[in-house]
Amino acid sequence: MSVLRKSSVFVLCAALSLLSVILPARAQDKIHIVASFSILGDFVRNVGGERVAVTTLVGPNGDAHVYTPSPTDAKKIADAKLVVVNGLGFEGWLPRLVKSSGGKATVVTATQGIAPRKLDSHEDPHAWQSVANAKLYVANIRDALAKADPAGANAYKANAEAYLAKLAVLDNDVKAAVASIPKARRKVISTHDAFGYFAAAYGIEFIAPQGVSTDSEPSAKDIAVIITQLKLSKIPAVFLENIADPRLMRRIAAETGAKIGGTLYSDSLTAENGDAPTYIDMVRHNIKALTSALTS
């Protein structure tokens, strides 16, 4: 009897230790990572997989240019091992937040190594709008995760490889979609200047009444210039943005007769039930909206 009991204890112990190997890490064992905004959060989830717990500060449809952090955000940063940021002047509110959190998180700049597009004296932060750049974001995140959690390096490498392959397909699909638009029609108006990297990578011209940030309103003169330009160059479509007030674009469309081509997702993903819950969904939504407005 006692032999039987001993052996069942042994079997139980063996089963438990086997379970701890095959079960995913418990929530408290995961590497806590804060991403400054939703698009970065999606990249980190794809590379980090089961080993990480990701929190984003600026959530779905939020505008990171003009975000006001809350005390909860400082708490999230205090608990994190890594804080992944875009850089290029996108999150002007972040350095102070990191400092005030008192945490020891390492700040990782996901745009490291990307040549910034410049507008006057400002760097354009919207580098993610070129899929080739998104691949560099992913490589930077993979390397930062491997450094912070060496035991997971192989997992991060495999996850990144799988995701990078999806991004390569996406990049080719965008190029093929743009090729289907007649050259003379490859121009649109969007609310703020968020598509400069997209324009440079894929050859669609974007004109925007608002600059590379949303922190200032366009002047009456800026709007008048856009309206004249729109009439002269017969720009076929005007696009709304998920993070911007649609009234200005509706007015421009009404004054020029250009049609509203739909909504573009520029600086933020949507919630799970929206059109763009992931980066890949966002790019696919945008290119579909552009091609259907410009080819019809």
Q: Which residues bind Zn ion (CB under 5 A)?
A: 194, 267
Residue 188 or 194: the one with the smaller Cβ distance to Zn ion is 194
Residue 53 or 290: the one with the smaller Cβ distance to Zn ion is 290
Minimum distance of Zn ion from residue 208's CB (angstroms): 10
Minimum distance of Zn ion from residue 65's CB (angstroms): 5
**Residue 256 structure tokens:** 């020029």
Minimum distance of Zn ion from residue 281's CB (angstroms): 19
According to the 3-state scheme, what is the secondary structure of 59-85?
CCCCCHHHCCCCHHHHHHHHCCCEEEE
CA 146 to chain centre: 21
Residue 105 or 204: the one with the smaller Cβ distance to Zn ion is 204
Tell me the one-letter amino acid at 172. N
Minimum distance of Zn ion from residue 268's CB (angstroms): 9
Residue 101 or 286: the one with the smaller Cβ distance to Zn ion is 286
Residue 187 or 192: the one with the smaller Cβ distance to Zn ion is 192
In angstroms, how far apart are the furthest CA atoms of the chain?
95
Nearest to 135 by CA among 156, 106, 166, 91: 166
CA 184 to chain centre: 30
Minimum distance of Zn ion from residue 146's CB (angstroms): 30
Strands of 237-241's sheet in order across: 205-207, 187-189, 237-241, 259-264
Minimum distance of Zn ion from residue 64's CB (angstroms): 7
Residue 63 or 149: the one with the smaller Cβ distance to Zn ion is 63
**Residue 202 structure tokens:** 């894929």
Residue 236: C-alpha distances to residues 11, 161, 185, 260, 296 (Å): 72, 39, 7, 9, 10
